[in-house]
Structure formats: C-alpha cells, structure tokens
Structure 1
Amino acid sequence: MPGVYLVLTADEAYTMVAISEERLRVTMTRRDEVIGKRLFEVYTDDPSHPDAQGVAALRASLQEVVASGRTQRMSNVRYSLKRPDEDGGGFAEHYWDVINAPVLGADGKVRYIIHRAEDVTQLLQSQEHTRNRLRQSDERLNAALLASGTGTFYWELASNRLDMDVAMQRLVGLQGAAELTLDALLQRVHRDDRPGIIAQCERCADLGEDFEMQFRVQLSRAGLRWLFVKAQTFHDTDGRQSYLVGACMDITSHKRTEQALHRLNETLEQRVNEEVAARASAEAALRQSQKMEAVGQLTGGLAHDFNNLLAGIIGSLELIDLRVQQGRTGELARYLEAALGSASRATALTHRLLAFARQQTLDPSPTDVNGLVAGMMELLQRTTGPLVEFHNEADARLWLTLCDANQLENALLNLTLNARDAMPHGGRLTLATGNESLEQNAASRFGLAPGDYVTLRVSDTGTGIAPEKLSYVFDPFFTTKPLGEGTGLGLSMVYGFAKQSGGGVHIESSPGGTTVRLFLPRHFGEIRTSIVQNEAPCIPERRQGRTVLVVDDEPNVRMLVVEVMQELGHQVLAAACGAGALERLGEAREVDLLISDIGLAGGMNGRQLADAARRARPELKVLFITGYAEEAVLERSGLHLDYEVLVKPFSIQALEDKVQAMFEVN
C-alpha cells in the first residue's frame, strides 16, 4: 500500500509491525530500527522534549481509536525528523496531518492501527508566511498566498461573488466560465454534499464562522474529485461579516487511501488467519518429518541389533534340533550356551530401550550416592584399566536421593566406560558428588523443575565431542564411537533413568574433555537398614506343597511359570485373565501365592486382580511379573511393599529364587 504509514498493535505497547518504504525514506530510518519497537520508544513523550505536546496528542488519539473503533484525525502534529537543519546541527522541525485508522478483528475489536501521516510542514510554513504578509499588505493578496500551490478563492458575502485563481478553477471544473458564483459552484458539487455546503455558508454569513469541509465535485472527464476547503471569515469596520478567503486542496488520493484501508480492514484478519494456518501446517509437517526420521533411526538400530541376536538364538535352536535327530546330544551344551547368551544380550538391549523410554520397572529406595560410588570404586578401576587416574571428590554433607540403586550403578558404569573410551592413551577421570538447590532460571537451563538435587558428576580429560554432535548424544543408537564399538544406548539409558527418577542429565564437552552431570531429586527420609544377625545365616529347606495361582494372557509365559512351579513341587492353578483368576480363587480351598502379569486382557489389570483377591484372602502373597512400569498400577501401600516384582524376561533360576524367598518370609 503506497503512502507514509505505520501499522501498530492495538495494545498499550503500540508495537510497530509494518512500515512503508516511503515512511522510511521520509524519516531517514531503517526498518530494523523500528519494527518490533514500541511506538513511544521512537516518539518520546518526555515532557521536556520539544515534541512532547504532539506526541501526547498522538497517544490520546491512538487510545480513542482503540476505545471507539473509529478513525481519528490529527492536524499539525509536531515531530522533528532526525535530519540536520540548515545550520548543520540539531533536527529539522516537521508537522504532520495524521489519520489513525482501526483494523478490526473477527470479534469486532480493534487488533491493529494504521497510522498514516502526511508532512504538512511546508503548508504550515506557507500559511505562517502568508499571515506575516497579510499584516503588511492587502488581505486579498495574502489570502491568495495562503495556500500557494493549491486553489484559492475569495467569496464576497454581499454580492455572492466568487473570485478563484486558475488552480481553483481547474479543481472545480469552472475554468473559462463567464461568471463565477456560489450557485455555479454548487452545480458542480455532488448532490449529496450540497446541503452541507449550503449550511456551512449560512453559518459563515450569519454567525461569522470559518469554513472547513470536505466535498465532492463532479467533473465531466475526471469523474468525482474530493476537495478539502478551508476558509476564514473576515469582518468590515462595523464588525459585520464581509468576505471569506480560503484555499482548496485535492484530497482524492487521500480518500482512495482511506477506501483502501477500509478494504484492508475487511480482509486483513482473514489473510492473517490464512497465513498463520499455512505456517502452522508447514511446522507440523516439519515436526512430523523429524519424528519419522527419529523413528526410522530407532527402528533401524533395533532391527540391526535384534537380527544379530535372533540369528544366534534361532541358529543355535536349529542346531540343537538337528543334533537331537542325529543322536549327537553331547554337543547340545555349547549350542544352549550360545542361545542363552544371545537371549541375555537381547534382554539387556530391551532394558536399555525401556530406560530410554522411561518405561522400565524401577525399585526406588533412599540412596546414599557417596556410599554407592565408594562401593563401586574397585570395579570401576578394574574396568577402566591402569592408564586412567581416578579422583573421587565426595561432598561430606551429601543429601540422600530416592532412586533405584541398581540402575544408578548401571548409569555410573556406563558413564565411566564412555570416559575411558574417550581417553585411549590414558587420562584423569573425576567422580564428584554435590548438593544443588536450583531456582527457576537455573532449573530451566537444565530442563528441570525448581528444587533440591543430588548431583553426580563424571569428568574426563579425553578427546571431547564435536559441537554439532553434542545435541544428539542422548538419542538411541547414536554413538560417536567407530562402527561396531558401541550400541549407542548407553547415554540414552542414563537419560531415561534420570528422567524416570524425577531428575535429568546435562552434558558439556570441549576438545579438552567431557563432563556429564546426573541430577537426582533430594530425599528427606532416612535409609532403611536391615537387622544383621550375628549367627551364621541359616539356609532354610524348600517347602513344597503350596498352592500357586498363575495368571498371564501370554500362553507360552503362562506355561513356563506353571511348569517351574510344578518342578518346585507346588500345586498350580492357571488363568488367562482377571475374571478367570477370580473364579479359580473362589473354587480353591487355599491359595498361598498369586503370580500375575500386570497388563492383562479383559478389562482387569494385575493390580486390580490382586486387590480383589486380597479382599477375600488378606494374607495372599503377590508376585507381579512385568515387562515395563505402569505407575498408576504399581503403587506402594503404606511404608512397606505389599507385593514383589520380577521383570520380564527372567531366568528360571530367578523365578525359583524369588518364589522360594517369598514363601520363606512369614
């Protein structure tokens, strides 16, 4: 849209969001100096500033636009341009006629204000010059000079005679007319504007008011032309109204601009909404593309690792089948060992994925991180080798934290191994603990909630991580190690464990080394200790003949658990869902142990089944077997555990030991 304009937000800030090139040229400013700035950061309303009065009027006009929703006009607003004056210093004074037009939203409220200004400095200067000349010479001559460069006229009230200069005649289409009168002029005025002009003329003649009006004239070729007329009434020596002297200005372009602003007002909201919708759609498509890329990397890494593991398992089982058919059973142990080894690595890979997804089953307890680190030092030193020099900086007043100690040990071992691999020729590895209380700003930097945290810091003097790779180190299957040296799940497991425990991880790296800080939330309780008996431990004999109810909707798992329980000499009941299990409980005279999956089909999960069973059998022991954590289900009752958990996949020996231990507890 041509013109000298600004687009402002309709709030107290009046932020400048758009500006015309003409406005930049006239004010000798750059777009980056104004866009995004508050209007009154540029137009200062400091009372001591020479422009303060005009700026205050501008503020009032903008407030009226927001309050009324109507266009506001201002005349002769002073604003000094940042341009040297003729003396080479200071700023040149300029005056502006201003139109502040509202842009309404769909709700009818003012959303933006279009601030259009016209430099009328020369006009005002000309008027001032004319007023000075009027004091020295003929009033009619001074009136002609009032609007130099525009049409001027002289209207004698007594004779109703009009005297127009050539410019004025051209504006109203009366050039070459034999006689110029008010009636001749009214014939050119648009019929809708005639009553207003007549009323104004009567007030000038009767009351001596000045004339100021906008009206349209109908021209034969040029069509409608908008004119702005301003005239002053002069009196004779007796004080009676004698004549008017005035000037006429073509404001057709101004009116066209107003119409354009009106059309913009009607369509701007729709165009803005369309642009926002298009941008949102593009951003959503980008996020989906990035998500699919991450999923592709994840599934590709999983497929690669599991294919290797499944090849070992399937190949070993096929060889076992072949050797059994051949009667060569003496070679089975080697193949069984290979299959079990691949299965164990698959189990470890699954646990790492669950850790990254924050879906692993955790057993949190109050933990002394200093004690845990001290207990692992011998293992860590043996693992890293003699080339790595260890430093342990433990905070003597370290708080407790609530976490799964076994998972914290795995995390520390992973971080230590990464540090060792970053120092192939040796170096220094520092383990440090500390307490940190994070306020809002500091917590936001680490992606944490404000609060107290126990920190475990692992620092090395190794090669460091390239800056472009640092943001990817917690992604699954991403590794900075050479191909075949690392699965890319170590740091992702540490990240998932920390997040699932209510904390987080922060990494910093440079060519001189890497520092990883593990944040774990502070625990205000005490460490639970068990009573140590002085006597030698007594290994109780296996007690058989118990009744066990096994519930799992996976037939193979259910069959495995049933057979293991039968091997232990227990009587076994089995069910595939919660409803079937409750029927078995109702039929059985006695049930000593419930072994159940947590995620069951049929609308009842394992915890709901256990709660229902214990209402009928309060002393019933419960063992949950699960592959991931469901926080809403795995709730603790009171201060003690009301169940035991065994994580899938598990070995037969682990199942036997867990069940036997539960039966040995009174």
Structure 2
Amino acid sequence: MAPEATQAVVVFAPLAGDAAALRAIVEHEGVAARTCADALEFYAALGDGALAVVITEEGLARCALQDLADRLRRQPAWSDLPILVLADADSREVDDGRFRRLGELGNVTLLIRPTARLALAMALRSALRTRRLQFAVRDQLAQLAGHAGELEATVARRTASLEREVLERRRVEQALAEARRLESLGKLTGGIAHDFNNILQVVAGSETLLRMLLANSLDARVTRALDGIRRAAGHGSSLTQQLLAYARRQPLASVAVDLRAQLRATSDMILRTLGPGIELRSDVAPGLWRVVVDPAQLDAAVLNVAGNARDAMPDGGVLTLAARNWTLPDPALPEGGHLAGDFVGLLVSDDGHGMSEETARQAFEPFFTTKPMGKGTGLGLSQVYGFAIQSQGLAFIRRDPVGTTIGILLPRSEEQAAPPGIDPSALRADGLSGLRVLYVEDDPDVADATGALLQSLGVEVRLVTGAAAAIACDLAEVDLVFSDVMMPGEMDGIELARWLAERHPALPVVLTSGYMLSPERLQDLKVQFVRKPSSLGAINDAFVTALRKRNFSDDGRRGERQRR
C-alpha cells in the first residue's frame, strides 16, 4: 500500500509545453503530478501510488503498447488504473488501428485535442474518484486479509491446543488402561501367591514336624529328602515374595535414603551381577534429594534391572546409573504420568540390543520373559514395577535409539527419621508351655500342619474356622489369638483384630497370611504378623513379642489365669 505522500497523477507528455499545462491542471485539482521524461521513467511510475495516468499521443508513440499492456496486467486484483489519452483527431484517422489497440490497456478514456480545460478537469476528477474507490477496496481487502490471518492464526493455535489435549487424553487413557491391566494382573498374582503360601505352609510345617518326630531315627536318605523339601519350600517362598512384590503386598521398611550413597554402596554387587566385559558408569546430579524408600528393596530392584541389562549385552557394553531431581508434572519427562510433586528419578540405561514395542509393553507383567526356557522366571522387572508403585512412585521403560532405559521415580524425603523397630530376637523367650491359643484358620490342611507346630511349642490349641466362631468363644479362657487374615464370611482376620482391640484390649493378637501387611497397618492394628509360609521360630518370636507388648508375664496374666 503506497503512502499518501507518494500518490500522484503520472503525466507523460514529451513536449515541454504540454507537460507544464497538464501539471498545472492536475495540481489545480489538489493532487500531486509526476511528469516523466521518457518511457522507462513512465513505466517505473506505474505502481500502487499512481492515482491516474495522463498521456499525450506523443508519449504514447514512445511506448511499446504490448510492454505497457503487460505491465498493466500485473496490477493487483483490486487495481484498474485510469488512463487519459490526449490525441489529435487527424492523427487518429491516420493510425486508427493503433488507437483501437488502446482497449488492451484496460481503463482508458480517449480525449480528442484540442480539449477544453474544463473537460479535461472533469475527466480527471472522474478518474480520481474511480481510483480512490479502488484504494478503498484495497484497504478493505487488506483489513479482511488481516482478520483472515488472525482468524487462521487463532484457528491454528486452538487446533494445536486441541491436538495436544487429544494426545494428552489418549496418553492418559492408555496409561490408565495399562495401569488397570497391570492392577488386574497384580490382584490375580497376589491371589496366586496367597494360595501358594498356604500350600507352602503345609509343606514347610510338615517338614519341620517330620524332623522333630524322626529326630532320633533319621538316616542319611531321610535327611537328604527333608533337606530337599526345605530347599524347595524356600525356593517357593522366594517366588511368592516376588509375586507379592508385583502385587504391591510385600513389606516395605521405608526410610529416608541418600540415593547417591546407596548406589555407591551397591556398586560392588552390581559389578558382580554384570560380570566382565560390561562397564558401569555413574551420572548422579549434584544436590540430589533424599528419597523415601526401603533400601533393601531398592537394592533388589537395581540388581534386577542390572541383570536384565547384562543379558541384553552379551558382547559387553556400558551400563549407566543416572539420577536427578524432578518436579512433576514436567514435559521433559512424559513418563511421569499422573505423579505430581518432588521426585528423584533413577535411570538405568544399557546400550544392548533394546526392546521391541510389544516387549516393552509386556515387560512389567509377571512371568513374561524373552529368555530361553529355564533362563529366567519373568519376575525380575515385575518386582521392580511393584516396588516402585508401592513406594508411591512409578517405573517406566524407555526405548532408546541404542539400548533401553528402565526408570524408577521415588518420592522426595522430608528428612524424617525412621521409627525404631522391635527385634524379637533380642527378647528373652520365657517359654510358651501352657499358653492357651485360639487358632482361627479356615483351610484344614494349613490348620493341621500349623496346629501341630503350635503344639510342639507346648501351647494348648483351640481351632475354629472363622471369625464368627472365634467371637462366640469364651475369650476369658484364651491367652492369645492366632488368626489367618483371608477368611470367608463377613469378618476377616483384620476385622477380628479390630473387634478384639475394642472388646478385649488386653488380649494379644497375632495375624498370619500369604499376603504381607504394611508396617503402618500393623502398627495401627497393634498386632504382630507372621507371613506364610512361617517357620516354628518365626511363630515363637511373634508370640513372645505379642505377649511382651501386652505386658503379659508369669506374674501378670498367667498368674491371673492360675487364680481363676
């Protein structure tokens, strides 16, 4: 758009007298005139700032009509430059074909000389009105183009925002679906582990009883057989621990941990896991926050990931342990999912053969493995996943251009000291002989095996098969309640413990289950816990601790029992 100061009527009149006269007429109409000396200057003046053209026959003769027509055709769509041509009548008769071709120039008005000054002024005024209307159209088109540009930019911004929202929603929906799928697997896995622990309880308890019954007549073959049973039961117990880890039902003794120091202390074990040919590198950011985590389970998770990385680098490579602080959500860490707040990210990266998309999607599932038969249980990464979720964080897999990264996000510690625990082994066992125990267990096989173990401790066992039957007993004749957690009926072992705490607060309670109760929940219930499969020593220690915590002694409750 030409500024107003550059707008002028273009005058091309080679004869000096004509040029001066035409300039005077144009300026008398209140507009500027630009006179041109030759065709090149004339062509250059035909821009957006030209209000109109006044050209004499002599000027027209110095122009190539085709060139002039080509230049005018290149005008913008809104422009139709008015052209006033002054020609002699007799010249028009001589070169009539040339004047007919003036129509190719577009908006042409032919004025025959001699032309009255008034007629020329009126024709110029008409041309200027036409041109100013064209300028108005130009300005409106520019304004509309600006609005259209703004609208397009707004639409583009909102479309991009909508696309981001849709992508984010799809990502959240996929993450939620994946979490629900893994949660369902966790429930299934936890149920399997619970039932398997009940079976192991029968096996382990029966093995202990056999050793006790055959203590004086064991030969080498029987001893080897019992040792095999014990090893198998121990291996089965380890597997159920891993299953419970995935199901997020393993015990966690979470404390404030310096992750840098913990990784440094674990480095020797990691190197032994990796073996020769694999280099271990550390990339821990300065100022790393402390985390709330169970250090033993953290070590197990790191070693599990290191073992998988080792298998992905059969020809050697580099394993990198990186850690840095994250305040989530953070676009730089899309794997942070739903987490919000301060976290420390532990990233374990290898430069091995990597994972396919399908493998990465299933890698956290229990029993999923790409290793040959007998080379892996498929429980390593599932333990890592369960540990991270149970620690109020999460675990993720990132498929790198070379290799794989397993990430574990752990919550920042508020520097609170871990509460002191009770060490049953430090307590002196006063002997449980004569202790009256109400044993609540619905599985007859488990009840038989565990009941026999209890009797070997010298306690008097009364067996009931549910919480309702336990409540119906004369609890004044009971010194301790030993109950399974998972039982049919409206009341399970936890509800029974709560009921006993309200009605009989002085009565010690010990719970047992194939699941693991959290330390916080146990503290809330004020009970002791024995995880199945349980050894005779574990049961004894739990009973002694429960009795001590309830201030039970030979001079106390037991003496009271003797006075009844």
- Does residue 473 of structure 1 match 2:359? no
User: Does the 8 A contact of 1:387 with 1:427 survive in 2?
Assistant: yes
Secondary structure of 1:471's aligned partner: helix
Structure 1 residues 636 and 563, CA, compared in 2 at 3 Å: closer, same or farther?
Answer: closer
User: Residues of 1 paired with 2:412 and 2:544: CA distance?
Assistant: 35
Deviations 1:313-339 (A, max 9, x none): 99x99xx9xxx9xx9953122223333
User: Does the 8 A contact of 2:251 with 2:517 survive in 1?
Assistant: no
User: Residues of 2 paired with 1:482 and 1:615: CA distance?
Assistant: 55
User: Does the 8 A contact of 2:279 with 2:318 survive in 1?
Assistant: yes
Structure 1 residues 584 and 433, CA, compared in 2 at 3 Å: closer, same or farther?
Answer: farther
User: In structure 2, which of residues 230, 244, 250 is the aligned counterpart of residue 340 of structure 1?
Assistant: 230
User: Residues of 1 paired with 2:287 and 2:387: CA distance?
Assistant: 24
Secondary structure of 2:521's aligned partner: coil
User: In structure 2, which of residues 483, 490, 512 is the aligned counterpart of residue 603 of structure 1?
Assistant: 490
User: Residues of 2 paired with 1:414 and 1:366: CA distance?
Assistant: 21
User: In structure 2, which of residues 378, 386, 404 is the aligned counterpart of residue 496 of structure 1?
Assistant: 386
- Does residue 578 of structure 1 match 2:460? no
Please list every run of at least 4 consecutive aligned residues from structure 1 whose deviation after the TM superposition is greater than 6 angstroms. Answer: 87-92
- Does residue 635 of structure 1 match 2:524? no
User: Residues of 1 paired with 2:325 and 2:348: CA distance?
Assistant: 15
Deviations 1:44-80 (A, max 9, x none): xxxxxxxxxxxxxxxxxxxxxxxxxxxxxxxxxxxxx
User: Does the 8 A contact of 1:465 with 1:511 survive in 2?
Assistant: no
User: Residues of 1 paired with 2:430 and 2:281: CA distance?
Assistant: 47
Structure 1 residues 346 and 88, CA, compared in 2 at 3 Å: closer, same or farther?
Answer: farther
- AA matched with 2:432: Q
Which protein, 1 or 2, shows the higher relative CO under an 8 Å CA cutoff with sep ≥ 6?
Answer: 2
User: Residues of 2 paired with 1:637 and 1:650: CA distance?
Assistant: 20
- AA matched with 1:543: G
- Does residue 399 of structure 1 match 2:289? yes
- AA matched with 1:380: I
Deviation at 1:368, TM superposition (A): 0.6
- Does residue 623 of structure 1 match 2:510? yes
Give the aligned partner of residue 524 of structure 1.
Answer: 414
User: In structure 1, which of residues 634, 651, 654 is the aligned counterpart of residue 538 of structure 2?
Assistant: 654
Unpaired runs of 5+ in structure 1? 1-86, 93-286
390-399 or 344-353, which deviates more: 390-399
RMSD over aligned Cα atoms: 4.5
- AA matched with 2:507: L
Deviation at 1:541, TM superposition (A): 4.4
Structure 1 residues 619 and 484, CA, compared in 2 at 3 Å: closer, same or farther?
Answer: same
Give the aligned partner of residue 431 of structure 1.
Answer: 321
- Does residue 564 of structure 1 match 2:564? no
Structure 1 residues 463 and 445, CA, compared in 2 at 3 Å: closer, same or farther?
Answer: closer
User: Does the 8 A contact of 2:366 with 2:379 survive in 1?
Assistant: yes
Deviation at 1:438, TM superposition (A): 0.9
User: Does the 8 A contact of 2:522 with 2:528 survive in 1?
Assistant: no
User: Residues of 2 paired with 1:407 and 1:538: CA distance?
Assistant: 24
Structure 1 residues 445 and 427, CA, compared in 2 at 3 Å: closer, same or farther?
Answer: closer
Structure 1 residues 555 and 406, CA, compared in 2 at 3 Å: closer, same or farther?
Answer: farther
User: In structure 2, which of residues 374, 395, 399 is the aligned counterpart of residue 509 of structure 1?
Assistant: 399
User: Residues of 1 paired with 2:75 and 2:229: CA distance?
Assistant: 91
User: Residues of 2 paired with 1:561 and 1:374: CA distance?
Assistant: 43
User: Does the 8 A contact of 1:585 with 1:613 survive in 2?
Assistant: no
TM-score, normalised with respect to structure 2:
0.54
User: Residues of 1 paired with 2:421 and 2:465: CA distance?
Assistant: 40
User: Does the 8 A contact of 2:369 with 2:378 survive in 1?
Assistant: yes
Give the aligned partner of residue 437 of structure 2.
Answer: 548
User: Residues of 2 paired with 1:89 and 1:475: CA distance?
Assistant: 70
Give the aligned partner of residue 138 of structure 2.
Answer: none
Structure 1 residues 558 and 580, CA, compared in 2 at 3 Å: closer, same or farther?
Answer: same
445-454 or 345-354, which deviates more: 345-354
User: Does the 8 A contact of 2:241 with 2:250 survive in 1?
Assistant: no
User: Does the 8 A contact of 1:505 with 1:518 survive in 2?
Assistant: yes
Deviations 1:277-336 (A, max 9, x none): xxxxxxxxxx9xx98xx98xx99xx99xx9xx99xx99x99xx9xxx9xx9953122223
| 1:252-267 matched pairs, under 5 angstroms | none
- AA matched with 1:647: R
User: Residues of 2 paired with 1:367 and 1:571: CA distance?
Assistant: 43
Deviation at 1:653, TM superposition (A): 3.7
Deviations 1:435-491 (A, max 9, x none): 211126556543232211122222233332234533332233322323332122211
User: Does the 8 A contact of 2:327 with 2:343 survive in 1?
Assistant: yes
User: Does the 8 A contact of 2:290 with 2:413 survive in 1?
Assistant: yes
Deviation at 1:603, TM superposition (A): 1.0
Give the aligned partner of residue 354 of structure 2.
Answer: 464
User: Residues of 2 paired with 1:585 and 1:456: CA distance?
Assistant: 55
- AA matched with 1:390: L
Unpaired runs of 5+ in structure 2? 1-72, 79-176, 552-564
User: Residues of 1 paired with 2:341 and 2:400: CA distance?
Assistant: 29
- AA matched with 2:377: T
Deviations 1:175-194 (A, max 9, x none): xxxxxxxxxxxxxxxxxxxx
Give the aligned partner of residue 499 of structure 2.
Answer: 612
User: Does the 8 A contact of 1:577 with 1:602 survive in 2?
Assistant: yes
Structure 1 residues 647 and 630, CA, compared in 2 at 3 Å: closer, same or farther?
Answer: closer
User: Does the 8 A contact of 2:330 with 2:336 survive in 1?
Assistant: no
Structure 1 residues 89 and 341, CA, compared in 2 at 3 Å: closer, same or farther?
Answer: farther
User: Does the 8 A contact of 2:291 with 2:412 survive in 1?
Assistant: yes
User: Residues of 1 paired with 2:332 and 2:545: CA distance?
Assistant: 46
User: Residues of 1 paired with 2:521 and 2:420: CA distance?
Assistant: 23
Give the aligned partner of residue 161 of structure 2.
Answer: none
Structure 1 residues 507 and 334, CA, compared in 2 at 3 Å: closer, same or farther?
Answer: same
User: Residues of 2 paired with 1:519 and 1:450: CA distance?
Assistant: 11
Structure 1 residues 396 and 443, CA, compared in 2 at 3 Å: closer, same or farther?
Answer: closer
Give the aligned partner of residue 67 of structure 1.
Answer: none
Structure 1 residues 548 and 402, CA, compared in 2 at 3 Å: closer, same or farther?
Answer: farther
- AA matched with 2:521: E
User: Residues of 2 paired with 1:583 and 1:374: CA distance?
Assistant: 56
459-468 or 429-438, which deviates more: 459-468
User: Does the 8 A contact of 2:522 with 2:529 survive in 1?
Assistant: no
- AA matched with 1:597: D
Structure 1 residues 504 and 594, CA, compared in 2 at 3 Å: closer, same or farther?
Answer: same
User: Residues of 2 paired with 1:489 and 1:391: CA distance?
Assistant: 26
Equivalences, count? 359
- AA matched with 1:575: V
**Identical positions, percent:** 34
User: Residues of 2 paired with 1:629 and 1:660: CA distance?
Assistant: 20
Structure 1 residues 469 and 339, CA, compared in 2 at 3 Å: closer, same or farther?
Answer: same
User: Residues of 2 paired with 1:511 and 1:445: CA distance?
Assistant: 17
Structure (1/2) with the larger helix percentage: 2
